[in-house]
Structure 1
Amino acid sequence: MKATIKAGVIGAAGYAGGELLRLLLQHPQVAVAFAQSASQAGKAVAATHTDLVGETELIFSAKADAAVDVLFLCAGHGEAAKYVASHQIADSVKIIDLSQDFRWNEATTGATVPFEGREFVYGLPELQREEIRQAQYVANPGCFATAMQLALLPLTQQQLLPQQVHISGITGSTGAGQSLSATSHFSWRTENVSTYKVMEHQHLREVGRTLQHLQPGTSPEIYFIPYRGPFARGIFMITYLETDLKLEQAQTLYQDYYSSHPFVVLSKYNPDLKQVVNTNKCVLYLEKHGRQLVITSLIDNLLKGAAGQAVQNMNLLFGLDEADGLRLKATAF
């Protein structure tokens, strides 16, 4: 089948950019027109993303050097907005931003605050798939924000959230990006666990906005503790809250909500992180202990939490099957 969508990637040398290239190169409807990287310009893509040896002859370009139908921004927080403001991008080009720059410029409802005349729609398909289908510009959700919202959306839609929700989540080192820091270096991270941004993680802003929209006036306080994990990728999140729902009622609520969404799976068995690593899935598992409903939410931070969700949004923007190019295999062992 001949590719019909020309794609370009800005900031293609990082973790999210590399993961996006892996998906796009295998997508049946996409041709990668360019992979831009200021730091790697002139070098072979496969020399940086070494797992792509034999998969592509692409060379990193210093700038966007070809016409495209869709532009992915993987330039990092703060850089994406600068890029849009300083470059002439044809009005016909769809934009999907993987940074946080435009998550805070739009409203979950689809009522947007324009940036440089462009209105970005929040790109969580399980929340507003139809709005994404009609959009031109999409702001990809954060990884923790994705795992949190998918754990809470069915309850929120029915306005069943209590006044307090407690969440803890541990993430792999790739969530910190490719640039080295003291807490991402192997010798520090391995066999180690630590908390960071306790109760004040930036993703709480977008989650709070969603909850306020779906459950206005009574949206809960979220108490979130993020952890750095001694592994490369994946998010393992536990949410617990008080509810009078019986376990069977909660399971039915979740099954009904996600019945038409291909990447959210309600597990009958206590899941583990390897079930989602290297996939675009979110696996949910519900337990009831007294009045506490415990929700386990698992995603791959680089796929459903970043590049995979971006491709899912691209599929929606272009009227494709939502799962095209995303039927991926988990690593069981």
Structure 2
Amino acid sequence: MIKAGIIGGSGYAAGELIRILINHPDVELKWVHSRTVAGQRIVDVHQGLHGEIDMTFSSTYDLKGLDVLFCCRPAGKTREFLAENDVPEDLRIIDLSRDYRISDPSHDFVYGLSELNRKPMVRGARHVANPGCLAMAVELSLIPLAKNLLLNSDIHTTVITGATSEGAESRPTNHYAWRNDNMVVYRPFRHTQEPEIIQTLSAMQQSFRSQLNMVPVRGAFSRGIMAVTYLECPLELAQIIKIYQDYYDDHNFTFITSKIPDLKDVVNTNKCIIHLDKIDGKLLITAVIDNLLKGAAGNAVHTMNLLFGLQETTGLTMKSVAF
């Protein structure tokens, strides 16, 4: 059994991670650490777990004896944690913050986009940086084009996100009275996840110099992300669809559909569903994911499966809400 621990266990992504790990056939969840709710029962913080887990949040942690550590703390806190602690050399670390998503010589974290970096994760990587949820949706929309050197015009994408994308901490923009029946643009062209998207596309297509114009929108729903992207592409639609089908053919969680997807096609799953269309010479790409699963906890478990040589879908067979 893989012995797992979670740092920063009170947030939405950590809650989903707990739900997956306690039902994963090859994982034993040893402890869940939290500074804010230490001593409280997990079932009193994360709903829907009654009868499935009888643990309390821990105020202490012991990294010895663990096989994998999931870091679910806010931006900047994983670097701080690793600097302050004696981390066993063979401990696998999966970071869900943005601390290590940008490659640089100061760290050895592999960017955890499984549809791009599966090989290094299978071949001995120890540290993985989980992609941001908005970045995940946009990257999966575009990497087949990048692989085929087809990102040669400006890219325009509108990304609509659910309230849980902003985390469990109370703030005005995730309060029901504000969020319900409301939408608003935020951080246009300056979102914090844009650098990792550009890094990913540039790694796939070294000639990539196009402008990424991303407009994030806060949506009036709890979970899910819809990324609607358009750009110029000279190929016929049938050729583009084949490029996407070929790219994702041996990947277990990304699918090309002939019908424009709904958010509810993917909410509560680790799937990404992509639809392609060609209108007046422009390629229109619609991608949907669950921000807490494919965009966070589900992908983290997917990468754990890769790090430990498990079948990729283990513990990740889930039912979409559908309606």
Aligned residue number for residue 95 of structure 1: 93
Q: How far off its partner does 1:244 sit?
A: 1.1
Aligned residue number for residue 207 of structure 2: 217
Question: Which among 273, 277, 293 is matched to residue 287 of structure 1?
Answer: 277
Cα distance in 2 for partners of 1:129, 1:217 equals: 23
Aligned residue number for residue 260 of structure 1: 250
Cα distance in 1 for partners of 2:301, 2:92 equals: 12
- Amino acid of the structure 1 residue aligned with 2:143: L
Aligned residue number for residue 238 of structure 1: 228
Cα distance in 1 for partners of 2:71, 2:176 equals: 27
Aligned residue number for residue 120 of structure 1: 109
Cα distance in 2 for partners of 1:166, 1:143 equals: 18
Q: How far off its partner does 1:114 sit?
A: 3.1
> Unaligned regions of 5+ residues in structure 2, if any?
none
Question: Which among 27, 35, 40 is matched to residue 37 of structure 2?
Answer: 40
Q: How far off its partner does 1:210 sit?
A: 1.4
Q: How far off its partner does 1:65 sit?
A: 3.5
User: Is the contact made by 1:280 and 1:326 (CA closer than 8 Å) also made in structure 2?
Assistant: yes
SS in structure 2 opposite 1:135? coil
Aligned residue number for residue 152 of structure 1: 142
Moved >3 Å (runs of 4+)? none
SS in structure 2 opposite 1:26? coil
SS in structure 1 opposite 2:245? helix
SS in structure 2 opposite 1:175? helix
In the alignment, is residue 53 of structure 1 matched against residue 53 of structure 2? Answer: no
Give the fraction of aligned pairs with identical amino acids, expressed as a percent: 45
- Amino acid of the structure 2 residue aligned with 1:90: P
Aligned residue number for residue 109 of structure 1: none
Matches within 5 A, 1:201-216: 201-216=191-206
Matches within 5 A, 1:1-333: 4-65=1-62, 67-104=65-102, 106=103, 113-115=105-107, 119-133=108-122, 134-333=124-323
Cα distance in 2 for partners of 1:176, 1:130 equals: 31
Cα distance in 2 for partners of 1:219, 1:25 equals: 44
Q: How far off its partner does 1:81 sit?
A: 1.0
- Amino acid of the structure 2 residue aligned with 1:312: H
SS in structure 2 opposite 1:295? strand
Cα distance in 1 for partners of 2:227, 2:198 equals: 17
> Unaligned regions of 5+ residues in structure 1, if any?
107-111
- Amino acid of the structure 1 residue aligned with 2:75: H
User: Is the contact made by 1:265 and 1:282 (CA closer than 8 Å) also made in structure 2?
Assistant: yes
SS in structure 1 opposite 2:48? helix
The alignment covers a number of residue pairs equal to 321
Deviation per CA, 1:75-128: give whole Å up to 9, x if none. Answer: 111111111111111111100000000112x2xxxxx5234xxx1110000011
- Amino acid of the structure 1 residue aligned with 2:320: A
